């Protein structure tokens, strides 16, 4: 699983079971202008619940219901701030070591850690994951089944050997991901149940730039993101001549997505055979929009009518989900074999 394409904007479609997730993203950056060197984001069911960065040095709740944690644990956010603050130098050091490891010192560099767990509340099954990435690619990840580390890059093999030999650390991480993390996830879901369990249906529009352009089926305002949007013909889902986009966040916490249909080879009399279908997990009825010229919004002669409200995620989430992919010439460093020695950082929710 690529950390930088993720990761986390994956919809769980056409299933009845409800899977909840708790994810943490630690992102350290080098030479990114006007951006904190270290950012931490915590998310429950892909909803941001906590934020920390090295500029403010304060962990803050991002949902009103997250303030309920203070009732049970008054020191929660203070303790979280101290934990995150204590890891700043470790992350900065790791970037410097990785620059040396990859023999590229100049330019922008991004170091990421993604970890968390998922919980199926019907089957009561849990699974955890822990991955490290550097400059847009996987660096090393933990296989909880074998309790060993997977190193897809040659530069990570030294780290793999060291971490494989640290049995105590691996045992702790397995306990965290399979016991401690799910316990906190269940607690957060309970705090935010009313908000997390809500279901908002979208408005669906058909959009087209020119008469020969693909027709875009655009759904916006839905929540949660466990949804699917697709074109079908005569009741069968289409896979050719379609281009499906990712699920993207709106500024109000809801989501949006689009799927294009190429119409150049569709005869006018066959349009009635096509429709766009929106499906959401846990919602019985689909939203079906027929391919009909009379309802297509176009900018042909009316540019203001063709406004697709593509709201980009914040710079923080883009980095956390891999938005930063840089292609620039970088200066080389003198070769060396420094190791990443301090990545056993304390978990925010360990107890």
Domain ranges of the chain: 19-195+314-320, 203-305
Q: By mean pLDDT, which of 158-172, 217-231, 237-251, 312-326 is the weakest?
A: 312-326
Asked whether the domain spanning 203-305 has the same topology as the one spanning 19-195+314-320, the reply is no
Q: By mean pLDDT, which of 4-8, 103-107, 284-288 is the weakest?
A: 4-8
pLDDT 10s digits, 235-293: 999 999 999 999 998 988 789 999 999 999 899 999 999 999 999 987 889 999 999 99
Q: What is the mean pLDDT of residues 155-175?
A: 95
Distances (CA, A) of 349 to 22, 143, 179, 183: 11, 21, 11, 10
114 beta partners: 25, 131
Q: What is the mean pLDDT of residues 148-165?
A: 94
Distances (CA, A) of 302 to 204, 217, 219, 311, 325: 20, 19, 21, 22, 35
Task: Please indicate whether residue 252 or residue 300 has the higher confidence score (pLDDT).
Answer: 252
Domain formed by 19-195+314-320, architecture: 2-Layer Sandwich (3.30)
Residue 211 has pLDDT above 80, yes or no: yes
Q: Percentage of residues in the chain with pLDDT exceeding 90?
A: 60
Q: What is the pLDDT of residue 300?
A: 56
Average pLDDT along the chain: 82
Burial of 255 (C-beta count, 10 Å sphere; 0-12/13-18/19+) = buried
Q: What is the mean pLDDT of residues 131-141?
A: 93
Name the CATH superfamily for 203-305: Immunoglobulins (2.60.40.10)
Instruction: Say what angle helices 157-165 and 167-175 make with each other, to 10 degrees.
Output: 80
Q: By mean pLDDT, which of 36-40, 127-131, 333-337 is the weakest?
A: 333-337
Give 213's DSSP letter. Answer: S
Place of tokens 């019907």: 122
Q: What is the pLDDT of residue 299?
A: 67
Q: What is the pLDDT of residue 17?
A: 53
Q: What is the pLDDT of residue 246?
A: 94
Q: What is the pLDDT of residue 235?
A: 95
Extract the tokens encoding 48.
């941001």
Q: What is the pLDDT of residue 165?
A: 96
Q: By mean pLDDT, which of 106-115, 294-303, 313-322, 335-344 is the weakest?
A: 335-344
């Amino acid at each position: 699983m690529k950390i930088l394409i993720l990761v986390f904007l994956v919809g769980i479609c056409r299933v009845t079971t409800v899977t909840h997730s708790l994810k943490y993203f630690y992102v350290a950056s080098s030479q990114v202008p006007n951006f904190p060197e270290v950012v931490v984001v915590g998310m429950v069911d892909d909803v941001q619940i906590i934020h920390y960065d090295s500029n403010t040095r304060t962990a803050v709740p991002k949902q009103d219901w997250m303030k309920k944690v203070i009732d049970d644990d008054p020191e929660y956010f203070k303790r979280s701030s101290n934990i995150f603050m204590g890891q700043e130098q470790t992350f900065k050091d790791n970037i410097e070591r990785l620059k040396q490891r990859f023999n590229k010192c100049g330019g922008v560099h991004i170091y990421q850690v993604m970890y968390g767990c998922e919980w199926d509340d019907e089957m009561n099954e849990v699974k955890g994951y822990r991955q490290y990435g550097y400059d847009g690619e996987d660096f090393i990840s933990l296989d909880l089944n074998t309790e060993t580390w997977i190193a897809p890059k040659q530069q990570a093999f030294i780290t793999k050997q060291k971490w494989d030999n640290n049995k105590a650390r691996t045992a702790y991480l397995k306990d965290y991901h399979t016991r401690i993390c799910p316990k906190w996830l269940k607690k957060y879901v309970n705090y935010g149940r009313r908000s997390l369990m809500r279901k908002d249906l979208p408005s669906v529009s058909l959009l087209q730039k020119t008469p020969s352009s693909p027709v875009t089926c655009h759904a916006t305002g839905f929540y949660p993101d466990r949804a699917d949007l697709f074109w079908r013909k005569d009741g069968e889902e289409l896979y050719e001549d379609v281009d499906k986009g990712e699920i993207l966040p709106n500024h109000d916490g809801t989501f949006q997505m689009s799927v294009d249909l190429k119409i150049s080879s569709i005869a006018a009399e066959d349009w009635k055979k096509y429709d766009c279908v929106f499906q959401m997990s846990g919602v019985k009825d689909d939203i079906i929009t027929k391919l009909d010229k009379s309802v297509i919004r176009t900018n042909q002669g009316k540019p203001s009518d063709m406004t697709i409200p593509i709201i980009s995620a914040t710079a923080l989430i883009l980095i956390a989900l891999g938005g930063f992919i840089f292609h620039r010439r970088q200066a080389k460093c003198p070769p060396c074999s420094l190791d990443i020695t301090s990545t056993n950082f304390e978990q925010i929710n360990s107890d």
